Amino acid sequence: MSSFGSRLKHAFEEYGRLCVGIDPHPGMLPEWGLPDDASGLREFGSRVVEASVGRVGVVKPQVAFFEAYGVAGMRALAETIAEAKQAGLLVIADAKRGDIGSTMAAYAEAWLNPEGDFGADALTVSPFLGFGSLDPAVEAAHRYDAGLFVLALTSNPEGQEVQLARTEHGTIAAGIASRAAALNGEAELGSIGLVVGATTAYLAQANGIDLTQGRPPLLAPGYGAQGATAQAMREGFGDAWDQVLVNSSRDILRRGPEILALAEAVDEARADVA
């Protein structure tokens, strides 16, 4: 199998930079006329996948919204991931896992092993126990030709307390970006990416954080419902714009439940961020 970075680069070339979020927010299943249980989750996931196939190359289920429904919800998530992968979509599991040693290794095995129930193409991870705590996840990503998206400059206001805190070597976010870059080597598009909020991308330039170093893919949530526009993102990411994977969730999902309407929303968002 080719590296995650290579597969993502191909998805960019084939379908553009849009990633569709599979985020069954509380109350959304009844709004769609679906049962508020695991069967409704499964139908929700299936409709979003069907609307995405042939239009985008990547989907991103938010694990927490499935986990809230217990064991049956996690089974629905596993089935949604499997359906998306079988349809040729890359899947990013948005689980934001972060721990140390054997625990981090277990998380990575759970989410990155393609033979596992939740085997995704990439996983979001938190480096705030120290970047080195991610080593087991990095090793698993290399072993399975998978990817990681490391939280770096997130869109929540509280994040800046930590991410823009300064050490003698610069901001915490700059250090995270530098460590990710080193893992990517000379790849045209790396497999170890960063999460940089669509509404906070401008802070990278303002704080001297080089997002082009090491060519990490940049997962950018916050487009649409959270306020970021395509033009603002282009300006905020600057020279790193061609590395950006723009996530859209609520703006697309609120057009449901009909698959045709969801597909139209996907097409509109894809064209907007082209």
Res 157: pLDDT:
86
List the catalytic residue out of 9, 60, 85, 96.
Answer: 96
User: 228 Cβ partners below 8 Å, 6+ apart?
Assistant: 197, 198, 199, 220, 222, 236
Torsion of CA 155, 159, 163, 164, to 10 degrees: 90
| Whether residue 96 lies in the annotated active site | yes
User: 203 Cβ partners below 8 Å, 6+ apart?
Assistant: 153, 160, 164, 173, 209
Pairing, β 218-220 against β 90-97: unpaired
Angstrom distance (rounded) from CA 20 to CA 252: 8
Angstrom distance (rounded) from CA 106 to CA 158: 28
Angstrom distance (rounded) from CA 223 to CA 66: 22
Res 2: pLDDT:
95
Could you give the C-alpha distances from 138 to 28, 88, 135, 182, 184, in angstroms and in order? Answer: 35, 24, 5, 12, 11
Supply the pTM of this predicted model: 0.96
Res 196: pLDDT:
97
Res 224: pLDDT:
78
Res 145: pLDDT:
98
Res 20: pLDDT:
98
User: 201 Cβ partners below 8 Å, 6+ apart?
Assistant: 153, 211, 220, 233, 236, 237
- What CATH topology corresponds to 4-272? TIM Barrel (3.20.20)
> By the 8 A CB rule, do 257 and 32 touch?
yes
Q: Which two tokens stand for residue 264?
A: 């139209």
Res 21: pLDDT:
98
Res 226: pLDDT:
73
Res 89: pLDDT:
98
> By the 8 A CB rule, do 41 and 32 touch?
no
Could you give the C-alpha distances from 270 to 28, 49, 91, 101, 232, in angstroms and in order? Answer: 23, 15, 17, 39, 16
CA angle 186/92/259 to nearest 5° reads 130
> By the 8 A CB rule, do 192 and 213 touch?
no
- For each of the chain's 274 residues, which pLDDT tens digit applies? 799 999 999 999 999 999 999 999 999 999 999 999 999 999 999 999 999 999 999 999 999 999 999 999 999 999 999 999 999 999 999 999 999 999 999 999 999 999 999 999 999 999 999 999 999 999 999 999 999 999 999 988 898 999 999 988 889 999 999 999 999 988 899 999 999 999 999 999 999 999 999 999 999 998 976 778 999 999 999 999 999 999 999 999 999 999 999 999 999 999 999 9
Burial degree of 30 (CB within 10 A; 0-12, 13-18, 19+): exposed
